[in-house]
Each structure stands twice: as C-alpha cells, then as structure tokens.
Amino acid sequence: MSKPRPISGFPEWLPPQRMIEQRFLDKIKSVFEVYGYAPLETRAVEPLDQLLRKGETSKEVYVLRRLQEDSSASSPDDSLGLHFDLTVPFARYVLENSGKLNFPFRRYQIQKVWRGERPQEGRYREFVQCDIDVVDRDTLPAHYEAEMPLVIGDALGALPIPPVTIQVNNRKVCEGYYRGLGLGDPEAALRAVDKLDKIGPGRVATLLTETAGATDAQAKAVLALAEISSTDASFADSVRALGVSDPLLDEGLAELVQVVETAAAYAPGLCVADLKIARGLDYYTGTVYETQLAGFERFGSICSGGRYDNLATSGNERFPGVGISIGLTRVLGLLFGADKLAISREVPTCVLVALSDEEHRRAADDIAAALRRRGIPTEVSPTAAKYGKQIRYAERRGIPFVWFPGDPDSIKDIRSGDQAEADPATWSPPAADLHPTIN
C-alpha cells in the first residue's frame, strides 16, 4: 500500500491552522448573531435540477450516486448534487418552509460547499462559506442592501487579517445604462467589463464589439461607465454627466447611493462604489458586492454577494433577497500561504503536569483535574521520562507551563524559566496564556 496522497482541491489543515479557523468561525458567528441573523444549516445535497435552475454551472457540480446504483433507474433530473453555494439551497429552503418562517427572514449559514473546478492557490474544490441573507415576501426594502457591507465590515474587521475593501455596484445601473445606450447583449457586456482590471480597456473594448454587439461608440460609453468609482455619492454625478438616461439607471443609482452613504456613515473607508464590478452569477438583480483583501488583490474576491429578486419564486409566491458570503477557506489559505497567521501553540494545553514516576500518576491526575475544574487546559506528561524531556515535550508544542508535583508543588513558566510554589486549587495562568493566541 503506497502512502496516501492529498486530493486536489480538498485542503486539510494542521491543528494550529484548524484552531485559527475555529477562532475565525466563532468570531464571524458572533458578529452575525449580534446583527440578529438566525442560524441555519441545510443538507449538503440538492436535486440536480434545483442546482442547475440558474446559470450554466452544470459542469462544476459534483454529482452524488451510490456505488451500487441501477443506472437505468434514475433520470438525471432526480439525481443529487453537492451544493456549490449556500444561496441556492437557501432559496429552496425558504420556498419549502415559507409557511413556518417569519418575514423578513434573516439567517446565517456557515457550511462547506463544493465546486469541481481546477484548484490553485486560494481556489479549492471544497471550501467553507460564511453566508448571510435577508429575504422578504413579495418585496424587499432596499435598505437591506446597505446592511450587508456593515455586517461584513464588522465580521472581517474583528479578525486578525489585513484590511478589506468592499466594492459595490448595482446591476440596474449597468443594465439601465446599457439599455439607454441601446446595447444588444447586456449580459455579455457585463462579462467583458468584469475583466477590465485584468486585460485593460483596450481589450475590453474589443470584447464588447465582438461578443456584446457593441458599436465603437457604445463600447467607449460602456468603458466610460466602468471606469467610474468613488467612496462617496459623487459617482452618481459622474454617471449622469455621461448623458445616458433610463428609468432603471436612475433607480439603480439611487439604491447604490444609499449603500455607499450608509457605509460611509457607519464604516468609513469600507466601501467603494465601483461600476465595473459585475459578478458572474446571473441571478443578481440589484446591488452586487465583491471584497478585496489588502495585499491579496490578485487572488480575487474573498467575500461576494448581491441582491436577487427571482431566485426564490414559485407560482405567484415571491421571496426577493439579498446576501453576501465570506470565502473563509480562501482567506485562510492565502494568509497561511503568506505566513501571515500564526498561533502561539499547537495544542490547547496551558499546563503540562510533570510525572516523577508511574506510581505518582494518580497524584498528577488529581492536580490536572483540579486545574481543569477551573477551566485551565491541562494534560499530564505521557511518560515519567527525565524532567528535561518532559519540559521539552511541552516546549515542542508551545505549552507555556510545566507543573512539578512535590512538597510543595511548583509551576514553571518555561519561556522565562521562572518557577514558583503553586497550589492547584488556586493557581491561575495570566489571562493571555490561558488559551492559544493568534499572531
């Protein structure tokens, strides 16, 4: 049997990294809850036709089947696929449970998702998304679109990561503008504009004429819009100065102004209106969000979302929503890769109780139990090796304290070498040492 090997795109962290991930998850969850989002988890699979209902994502969906399946029995329609995001399953869940939910419904959902795409740094086939959404019945007030960045700003701002910038745009602005321009294929135009940073205005203009059926003048006008960006409401004036008019454009501008002004009021510097942001997913109908992590811009957005008006609809029931999702695995993968995240020890243990000989293991266990009762993470030395080796056992793992049973007991801080008498019923470590700390 040869040595097991990793599976491409399915990352597995070491314990220190997992501890960091768990801290992040705890923090994100608490911020989501402080905004009143309710926890939710949906199953990992959805019927394939549900997953493929929107967009051409078919080839990236992992299909589930039993090893001993009668291939003739199941049609493609009722086979199951692993969800590739949390928005589509959530829309399904809302429709299924609409009678039991109170609207507007605010929920957060932190789960793994799967996409069968070619992995590379910061891009995985299995990764964790931390998602918030608000849906309402029939109509969804636009102020929720302004709330999303605030939640994310608080959540990401509370983590020990580089600063982030949330870029916002509104599909109505682009579509209204394109319509006012008389452009043939708005979808294709959006896709072309989305590449502006990567391939530059010249090649975007070419793409626009080739794929979106734009004239040279239209391409120029589309680029003029895409190049507008501001951290305050002034982008709206810049757009109006382009002289294109359309009711949808005005509606979009008003909504985008509200998002940017709200952000500027509560989280200065967090948001920037950036009219080239398009987002690939075609179910977005209003505000769209992307997020850049300072220093890691080339790896793409770490947190994206938008407003969708038609995702959760069934018959004449309609649940428009807005949501945004943190790509936690990407954030971690990038920061781990750049050595920007470290934790003070590789185990939770704060105290190692040394063992003089196996006859005294019971006494050492008693000490450990007393410390644990007071919430101090403690383990007893695995063997009664020489004390030097026991200290080294702690040192290798970053455990800060070694407890020496005796008469009296003593506790040694192996970083400073300080050693003092201690009583397991009363001794406590400095608060900063009780649990591993990040960075």
Partner RNA sequence: GUGGCUGUAGCUCAGCUGGUAGAGCACCGGGUUGUGGUCCCGGUGGCCGCGGGUUCGAAUCCCGUCAGUCACCCCA
Q: How far is the CB of 391 from RNA (least distance, A)?
A: 4
CB nearer to RNA: give 239 or 335.
Answer: 335
Q: How far is the CB of 126 from RNA (least distance, A)?
A: 9
Q: How far is the CB of 373 from RNA (least distance, A)?
A: 24
Residues that bind RNA (CB under 7 A): 2-3, 5-9, 55, 57, 59-60, 85, 115-125, 127, 129, 191, 195, 198-199, 279-281, 290-291, 298, 300-305, 325-327, 329-330, 337, 354-357, 384, 386-392, 395-396, 402, 404, 406, 410, 412, 414-415, 417, 419
The response to whether 93 counts as a known ligand-binding position is no
Measured CA to CA in angstroms, residue 49 lies from 46, 71, 292 at distances of: 8, 18, 33
In angstroms, the CA 140 to CA 279 distance is 21
Provide the H-helix boundaries in 56-141. Answer: 87-97
The response to whether 313 counts as a known ligand-binding position is no
The response to whether 87 counts as a known ligand-binding position is yes
CB nearer to RNA: give 253 or 422.
Answer: 422
In angstroms, the CA 47 to CA 79 distance is 6
CB nearer to RNA: give 244 or 272.
Answer: 272
Which amino acid would we find at residue 314?
A: S
The response to whether 115 counts as a known ligand-binding position is yes
Q: How far is the CB of 356 from RNA (least distance, A)?
A: 4
The response to whether 109 counts as a known ligand-binding position is no
CB nearer to RNA: give 221 or 324.
Answer: 324
Q: Decide: 325 and 86 in contact? Cβ < 8 Å.
A: yes
Burial (CB count within 10 angstroms: exposed 0-12, middle 13-18, buried 19+), residue 418: exposed
Q: Decide: 148 and 255 in contact? Cβ < 8 Å.
A: no
Q: What are phi and psi of 319, to 5 degrees?
A: -130, 85
Report CA dihedral (28, 32, 38, 42) to the nearest 10 degrees.
-40
The response to whether 284 counts as a known ligand-binding position is yes
Provide the H-helix boundaries in 182-246. Answer: 186-193, 196-211, 216-226, 234-240
The response to whether 232 counts as a known ligand-binding position is no
In sequence order, what are the beta bridge partners of 402? 352, 412
Q: How far is the CB of 359 from RNA (least distance, A)?
A: 9
CB nearer to RNA: give 36 or 55.
Answer: 55
Measured CA to CA in angstroms, residue 251 lies from 25, 155, 177, 257, 260 at distances of: 37, 29, 11, 10, 15
The response to whether 283 counts as a known ligand-binding position is yes
Q: How far is the CB of 252 from RNA (least distance, A)?
A: 20
In angstroms, the CA 125 to CA 114 distance is 5
Q: How far is the CB of 33 from RNA (least distance, A)?
A: 21
CB nearer to RNA: give 70 or 357.
Answer: 357
In angstroms, the CA 202 to CA 208 distance is 10
The response to whether 183 counts as a known ligand-binding position is no
In angstroms, the CA 54 to CA 48 distance is 11
CB nearer to RNA: give 249 or 399.
Answer: 399
Q: Decide: 208 and 222 in contact? Cβ < 8 Å.
A: yes
Q: How far is the CB of 247 from RNA (least distance, A)?
A: 27
In angstroms, the CA 279 to CA 162 distance is 23
CB nearer to RNA: give 246 or 395.
Answer: 395
CB nearer to RNA: give 195 or 318.
Answer: 195
Q: What are phi and psi of 106, to 5 degrees?
A: -115, 125
- Residues 310-328 as b or e (16 or more Cβ within 10 Å = b): ebbeeeeebbbbbbbbbbb
Q: How far is the CB of 231 from RNA (least distance, A)?
A: 21
Residue numbers in the known binding site for L-histidine are 85-87, 115, 129, 133, 279, 283-284
Residue numbers in the known binding site are 85-87, 115, 129, 133, 279, 283-284
